[in-house]
């Protein structure tokens, strides 16, 4: 019976054949332990000299790292391994012998590993991170589909900027100037007016000269947009969505969290509702914590966010930022127009801003005023203004950065390990 490692629990006591690679091995004169991986998981294969033909034992002992092979053996329960099963090997057939695999079990530097990202992805740690990424994507589709959202795909090549013009990737669109999308939001607003509740999931691009553990040049964002929902309604959606991700990762990624030695106690606390503080309260909190020179009107950097997050066990919403440091489309608070109806969701443990969101300006004349202030002219922005002209309604939305969320749940330090092929300031390879 040909099967995969993920399915072996169905075949306890039976003989199966698995296509696999040799991740690592250990052997003595009488026994060889093969660490096998097939993409779906990792399992130990045990080859006992006395129980197989001599040439099989020799071939097992001589296997080199990343050699591909078919392994045939009997599945047995094994309480000592976190996976719970092992394979008592009866036969093996080499498909392709691998020589001098560059990534050995010894320690390597990050740049070396990044240069070999195409091979590094095979490692147990990277496998666990990508499986958690996959689980977050799966949970995202489930959550929004179950709640009546329609998935809408905004364009990637655009003629306008959504989040300011300094971080745009320029490209030529035949004879016209075009950009790679920084955010699908403006298009998602149009979609919300057509479908009510929508979400997108796609790559976005920021030509940011930032070299921090939280910044990628190309990253993936989930952007829900909801008609007839105000700022408060949107916060409720956000905390339910993030709690749902937490519940699913904890339930479905036990092996992966274990492989990453992730402390799950903090993840178990991620349950709605989340605490909320205003920007004003955040400023006070920072002053109390010794950030003496922070002034009202300044944006928060990573150290500020980390300090604020330390005061809470759960992710925390910071709401009502000054209008001047936020995007042109955010709705001013009617009670206090110098601040906007927005929130950033800050993750605990130093993972920083995971979500940025807001209620959008729905009034045509106010939006026209913002256009003037921000110099948004030309046909590229005309259509967005028209959304305020034909049956404008209150609406809100947000963007969750996938890689920062994966880093947080997986407990990895840097976002570069949370995307298969990271695009960084100095890296377009592999």
Q: Interface with ligand 4AD by CB under 6 A: which residues?
A: 162-163, 183, 185, 206, 208, 215-216, 219, 221, 223, 353-357, 397-399, 401, 403-404, 415
Query: Does 399 engage in binding with Mg ion (CB under 5 A)?
Result: no
DSSP letters of 192-256? HHHHSEEEEEEEEE------STT--SEEEEEEEEEET--HHHHHHHHHHHHHHHHHHHHHH-HHH
- Asked if 208 and 219 touch (Cβ cutoff 8 Å), the reply is no
Q: Which is nearer to Mg ion, 350 or 356 (CB)?
A: 356
Work out what residue 326 binds among ligand 4AD, Mg ion, none; the CB cut-off runs from 5 to 8 Å by kind.
none
CB of 294 to Mg ion, least distance (A): 18
Secondary structure string (H, E, C) spanning 160-206 = CCCCCCCCCEEEEECCEEEEECCCCHHHHHHHHHHHCEEEEEEEEEC
Question: Does residue 379 sit in helix, strand or coil?
Answer: helix
CB of 150 to ligand 4AD, least distance (A): 16
CB of 327 to ligand 4AD, least distance (A): 7
Question: Does residue 13 sit in helix, strand or coil?
Answer: coil
Q: Which is nearer to ligand 4AD, 37 or 215 (CB)?
A: 215
Contact map string, positions 348 to 367, toward Mg ion, x by CB under 5 A: --------x-----------
CB of 281 to ligand 4AD, least distance (A): 20
Work out what residue 41 binds among Mg ion, ligand 4AD, none; the CB cut-off runs from 5 to 8 Å by kind.
none
Supply φ then ψ for residue 199, to 5 degrees: -145, 150
Q: Which is nearer to ligand 4AD, 35 or 405 (CB)?
A: 405
DSSP lists the bridge partners of residue 16 as 73
Supply φ then ψ for residue 386, to 5 degrees: -65, -20
CB of 333 to ligand 4AD, least distance (A): 17
Give the total of residues touching Mg ion (CB under 5 A): 1
How long a stretch of residues is the chain? 430
Work out what residue 357 binds among Mg ion, ligand 4AD, none; the CB cut-off runs from 5 to 8 Å by kind.
ligand 4AD
Task: Give the binding site for Mg ion (CB under 5 A).
Answer: 356
């Amino acid at each position: 019976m040909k099967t995969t490692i993920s399915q072996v629990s169905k075949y306890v006591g039976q003989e199966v054949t698995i296509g696999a690679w040799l991740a690592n091995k250990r052997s003595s004169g009488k026994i060889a332990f093969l660490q096998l991986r097939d993409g779906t998981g990792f399992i130990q294969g045990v080859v006992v000299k006395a129980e197989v033909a001599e040439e099989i034992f020799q071939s097992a002992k001589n296997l080199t790292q990343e050699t591909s092979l078919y392994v045939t053996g009997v599945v047995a329960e094994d309480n000592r391994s976190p996976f719970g099963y092992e394979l008592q090997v009866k036969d093996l057939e080499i498909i392709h012998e691998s020589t001098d695999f560059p990534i050995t079990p010894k320690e390597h530097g990050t740049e070396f590993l990044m240069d070999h990202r195409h091979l590094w992805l095979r490692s147990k740690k990277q496998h666990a991170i990508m499986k958690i990424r996959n689980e977050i994507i799966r949970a995202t589709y489930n959550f929004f589909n179950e709640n009546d959202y329609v998935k809408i795909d905004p364009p990637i090549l655009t003629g306008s900027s959504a989040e300011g013009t300094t971080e745009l990737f320029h490209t030529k669109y035949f004879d016209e100037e075009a950009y790679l999308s920084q955010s699908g939001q403006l298009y998602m607003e149009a979609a919300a007016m057509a479908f009510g509740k929508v979400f997108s999931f796609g790559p976005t691009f920021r030509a940011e000269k930032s070299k921090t553990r939280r910044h990628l040049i190309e990253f993936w964002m989930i952007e829900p947009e909801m008609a007839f929902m105000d700022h408060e309604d949107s916060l409720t959606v956000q905390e339910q969505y993030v709690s749902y991700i937490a519940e699913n990762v904890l339930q479905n990624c036990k092996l992966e969290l274990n492989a990453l030695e992730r402390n799950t106690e903090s993840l178990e606390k991620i349950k709605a509702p989340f605490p909320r503080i205003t920007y004003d309260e955040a400023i006070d909190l920072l002053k109390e914590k010794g950030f003496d020179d922070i002034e009202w009107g300044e944006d928060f950097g990573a150290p500020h966010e980390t300090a604020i997050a330390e005061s809470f066990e759960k992710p925390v919403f910071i709401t009502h930022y000054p209008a001047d440091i936020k995007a042109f489309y955010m709705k001013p608070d009617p009670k206090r127009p110098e601040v906007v109806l927005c929130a950033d969701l800050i993750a605990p443990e130093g993972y920083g801003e995971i979500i940025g969101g807001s209620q959008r300006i729905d009034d045509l004349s106010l939006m026209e005023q913002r256009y003037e202030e921000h110099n948004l002219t030309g046909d590229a922005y005309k259509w967005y203004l028209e959304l305020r002209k034909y049956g404008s309604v209150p609406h809100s939305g947000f963007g969750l950065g996938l890689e920062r969320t994966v880093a947080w749940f997986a407990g990895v330090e840097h976002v570069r390990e949370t995307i298969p092929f990271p695009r960084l300031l100095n890296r377009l390879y592999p």
